[in-house]
Amino acid sequence: MYKQWTADMIPDLTDKRIVITGGSGGLGLETARALVAHHAHVVLAVRNLEKGHQAAAGLLREYPQAQVEVMQLDLADLQSVRTFSETFLQRYTSLDVLINNAGVMVPPLGRTKDGFELQFGSNHLGHFALTGLLLPVLLDTPSSRVVTLSSIAARSGYIYFNNLNAQIGYSAMKFYGQSKLANLLFARELQKRLQETGASTISIAAHPGVANTNLISRGSGKQAGKAASFVWGLFSQPADLGALPTLYSAVEPSLRGGEYIGPDGKGSRKGYPQPDLSFEHKYNDSTASKLWRVSEEMTGVQFPFRQPEAVQE
């Protein structure tokens, strides 16, 4: 059923509005390219506006009729997340898909504008806050979706509740795994809460396997070195294939929410999208619930879920 799903199978997306964080390069840009090719209105939510406009110009050269917009969003700055969300809500009354794609991978120890450890703060807390702030427009859009990108690194991830800000030590790879497990737990907990309130919005997690993107630049924003890129390329699949699980999560009508979509190849490293059941042991309701509470406290964002009776009115 799930074998060999490709971007050619994306339905017509005319009148669908989709936000992609980190849409100026790598998986985000490949995701945007496939979506605008099928007539979606795509908003590239990017930290670097210059790179965002360059990406949009490239998409318009490929697809002159494309609907593509660039808006500034720095996930490592909660005020930027609030400003983006307020601007979006003033401008639009619908959002069909929010794709929480942007991320940093194994940088040296760094901090967000709000003092959080950079990977947990950007990859998880920034997206947590963004989703919560955009929830009203998502709930107002029938059958909308939130797609959150995790990673196979979540397989070895652990939530260090006593050390979320690296105040008692830091390991770049362990904290990357923590942030990606947080993405996965957030996506599943969000689906649980949406379902409990009777919303038609669903939450799905996805991972690209091992994709050849510039994440290996370690959050610098610069292109990775030629040697590193070459070695990485030997073990990874192209970004357009790495984007397939995200695209599948965003448009496949058979999905009901709560799935984790990844490549179907050995070790989930390469291949075509399908539900990845190899991470089921990583789900823990109490951990997910605690992470949600802690994320609310750290970001100051609470999700405005509606009670079932309000939804049905």
Active site (catalytic) residues: 176
Q: Using CA atoms, how far apart are residues 44 and 35, in angstroms rounded to an integer?
A: 12
What does the longest C-alpha to C-alpha distance in the chain come to?
Answer: 59
Contact 117, 175 (CB under 8 A): yes
Q: Using CA atoms, how far apart are residues 73 and 80, in angstroms rounded to an integer?
A: 6
Taking only Cα atoms into account, the Rg of the chain, rounded to an integer number of angstroms, comes to: 18
Helix (H, G, I), strand (E, B) or coil at 269: coil
Q: What angle do CA 5, 6, 12 make, to 5 degrees?
A: 105
| Residues near 67 by beta carbon (within 8 Å), at least 6 away in sequence | 36, 39, 40, 41, 42
Report which of 180, 176, 2, 201 is spatially closest to residue 101, judged by C-alpha positions: 180
Q: Using CA atoms, how far apart are residues 139 and 98, in angstroms rounded to an integer?
A: 12
Contact 21, 102 (CB under 8 A): yes
Contact 301, 195 (CB under 8 A): no
Q: Using CA atoms, how far apart are residues 84 and 134, in angstroms rounded to an integer?
A: 10
Name the strands in the sheet holding 97-100, side by side, starting at the edge strand that comes first in the sequence.
67-72, 41-46, 17-21, 97-100, 145-149, 202-206, 260-263, 273-275
